[in-house]
């Protein structure tokens, strides 16, 4: 979207500043329904306008709320008779089984990136009947890491020109967060693996 430039976003948020955090939250919320919206730009401008921590919080709330809304809406529609008939096809069943086993990892990993097929990821997770708590955890943690990193950079871009080594701290933060989330994933996957092992013959 050529209209979405940094100057226009700053002007827009400044014009509606009287509405408090709502403009910043709404812009990131719409990202789940309007894919061309530039996530990097919106999150960075939120941090510049509202400050690092407030901008981070508003962007995170908007992105997670948008993902959950899409996920729950598609999940509800997936219970329709036509959708169930489609899901009963053998090839679809095989694909859904694979998605269920790997959904947490892929939702989380894709949530780490500020650009990507977020709408399709949300819809695929919903159609595969991924658990609501698992989806929320993967999205909340993944988006949280991404938004904090982008907000940290967008809050004061100039300091990275003055001290490029500060980008190393952002990278270390992402790596540490990835490790923590892998531990969370292991917790979710432990029970299914134990059940599967229990069915094997002695």
Distance (Å) of CA 144 to CA 107, 133, 177, 178, 200: 13, 16, 10, 11, 39
Distance, CA of 176 to CA of 179 (rounded, Å): 5
Cα torsion through 49, 53, 173, 149, rounded to 10: -20
Q: Which of 137, 178, 129, 171 is nearest to 152 (CA)?
A: 171
Q: What is the pTM of this model?
A: 0.72
* pLDDT above 70 (res 109): yes
pLDDT > 70: percent of the chain: 67
Residues 6+ away with beta carbon under 8 Å from 128: 96, 99, 100, 103
* pLDDT above 50 (res 118): yes
pLDDT given for residue 69 in this prediction: 95
Q: Where are the beta strands (DSSP E) in 52-185?
A: none
pLDDT given for residue 4 in this prediction: 57
Average pLDDT over residues 131-149: 91
Average pLDDT over residues 13-41: 83
Average pLDDT over residues 122-151: 88
Residue tagged 């226009």 (tokens): 8
Average pLDDT over residues 186-196: 52
Residue tagged 């500060």 (tokens): 166
* pLDDT above 70 (res 191): no
Distance, CA of 191 to CA of 179 (rounded, Å): 20
pLDDT given for residue 81 in this prediction: 72
Distance, CA of 4 to CA of 128 (rounded, Å): 34
* HSE-up of residue 52 (Cα within 13 Å, Cβ side): 7
Least confident of 19-23, 40-44, 51-55, 164-168: 164-168
* HSE-up of residue 4 (Cα within 13 Å, Cβ side): 16
Average pLDDT over residues 51-73: 93
Q: Where are the domains of the chain?
A: 6-191
Average pLDDT over residues 85-100: 64
Distance (Å) of CA 138 to CA 12, 21, 36, 132, 170: 31, 25, 23, 10, 20
pLDDT given for residue 91 in this prediction: 59
**Which token pair is 82?**
């036509």
pLDDT digit string, tens, across residues 143-185: 998 898 888 877 766 666 666 776 777 677 667 766 765 665 5
pLDDT given for residue 139 in this prediction: 94
Looking at every residue in the chain, the average pLDDT score rounds to 76
């Amino acid at each position: 979207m050529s209209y979405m430039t940094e100057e226009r976003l700053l002007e827009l948020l400044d014009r509606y500043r009287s509405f408090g955090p709502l403009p910043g939250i709404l812009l990131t919320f719409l990202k789940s329904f309007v894919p061309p919206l530039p996530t990097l730009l919106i999150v960075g401008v939120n941090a510049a306008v509202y400050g690092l921590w407030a901008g981070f919080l508003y962007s995170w709330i908007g992105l997670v709320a948008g993902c959950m809304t899409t996920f729950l809406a598609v999940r509800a529609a997936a219970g329709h008779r036509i959708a169930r008939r489609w899901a009963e096809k053998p090839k679809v069943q095989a694909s859904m089984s694979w998605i269920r086993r790997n959904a947490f990892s892929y939702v989380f990993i894709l949530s780490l990136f500020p650009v990507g097929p977020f709408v399709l990821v949300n819809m695929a997770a919903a159609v595969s009947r991924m658990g609501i708590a698992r989806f929320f955890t993967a999205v909340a943690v993944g988006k949280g890491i991404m938004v904090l990193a982008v907000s940290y950079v967008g809050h004061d871009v100039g300091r990275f020109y003055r001290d490029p080594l500060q980008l190393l701290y952002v990278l270390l933060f992402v790596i540490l967060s990835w490790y923590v989330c892998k531990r969370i994933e292991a917790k979710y996957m432990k029970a299914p693996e134990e059940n599967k092992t229990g069915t094997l013959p002695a």
